[in-house]
Amino acid sequence: MSSKINVYLIEYALGSIIRQGHKSLFITIVFTFLTALLTSIFFITNSIKYELNTTVDALPQIIVQQTKASRVTEVDISITDKLLDIPGITSVNARVWGYYYFANAGVNFTLIGIDEFEEQYSDTLEGIVKKNELNSSGMVIGSGVRKIMNSSYYKDYFNFIKPDGKIKKVEILGQFESDIELESNDMIVMSKDTLREIFGIEESKATDIVVKVANLEEVGTVALKIEQMFPNARVITNDDMKLSYENIFNYKSGIFLALFVIAIFTFFIIIYDKMSGLSSEQKREVGILKAIGWRVEDVLKEKFYESLILSLFAYILGVILALAYVYIFNAPLLRDIFIGYSDLKPTFEISFILDFQTLFLVFFLSVPIYVAATIIPSWKVATLEADDVIR
Question: Could you report the average pLDDT of every consecutive run of 10 residues in the chain (391 residues)?
Answer: 71 87 87 89 82 75 89 91 91 93 88 87 82 81 89 92 94 82 79 94 94 90 93 89 71 64 72 64 74 82 90 95 91 71 52 85 87 83 64 56
The reply to whether 190 and 319 lie within a common domain is no
Residue 168 lies in a domain: yes
For residue 146, what are the domain limits? 75-206
d(CA 139, CA 129): 11
**Whether residue 375 sits in one domain with residue 333:** yes
Is residue 226 in some structural domain? Answer: no
Contacts of 41 (CB under 8 A, 6+ apart): 256, 259, 260, 263, 334
Burial class (CB in 10 A: 0-12, 13-18, 19+), 216: exposed
Q: What distance, in Å, lies between the first and last C-alpha atoms of the chain?
A: 28
Measured CA to CA, the distance from residue 239 to residue 232 in angstroms comes to 21
According to the model, what pLDDT value does residue 62 have? 92
Among 206, 231, 254, identify where a domain stops.
Answer: 206
Secondary structure element (H or E) that encloses residue 91, with its range: strand 89-102
Q: Are 180 and 265 members of one domain?
A: no
Q: Which domain-ending residue is among 206, 230, 265?
A: 206
Say if residue 88 is in the same domain as residue 23. no
- Does 271 share its domain with 322? yes
Phi, psi dihedral angles at 32 (to 5 degrees): -65, -45
The verdict on residue 270 lying in a domain is: yes
Residue 150 lies in a domain: yes
Length of the chain: 391
CA distance 50 to 193: 35
Task: Give strand ranges (E) for 127-252.
Answer: 138-141, 157-161, 167-175, 187-191, 205-206, 208-213, 233-237
Indicate whether 33 and 111 sit together in one domain.
Answer: no
Residues 199 and 262 placed together within one structural domain of the fold: no
Sign of CA dihedral 349, 355, 359, 361: negative
Residues 94, 50, single domain; the answer is no
Q: Given this model, what pLDDT does residue 341 score?
A: 47
Please give the distance of CA 19 from its chain centroid, rounded to a whole number: 42
| 141 and 25 both lie in a single domain | no
Question: Residue 215's CB: how many other CB atoms inside 10 A?
Answer: 10
Q: Is residue 14 part of a domain?
A: yes
**Strand, coil or helix: 163:** coil
Q: Are 375 and 291 contained in the same domain? A: yes
In a domain, 219, yes or no: no
* Within a domain: 234: no
β pairing state of 107-114 and 138-141: unpaired
Identify how many contiguous H helices and E strands the chain contains and give both numbers.
14, 12
Give the residue from 206, 237, 259 where a domain finishes. 206
Same domain for 257 and 373, yes or no, is: yes
Number of domains, the chain: 2
Q: Which residues contact 66 (CB under 8 A, 6 or more apart)?
A: 72, 73, 74, 75, 76, 208, 232, 233, 234
Looking at the structure, do residues 40 and 168 belong to the same domain, yes or no? Answer: no
Residue 67 counted as domain residue = no
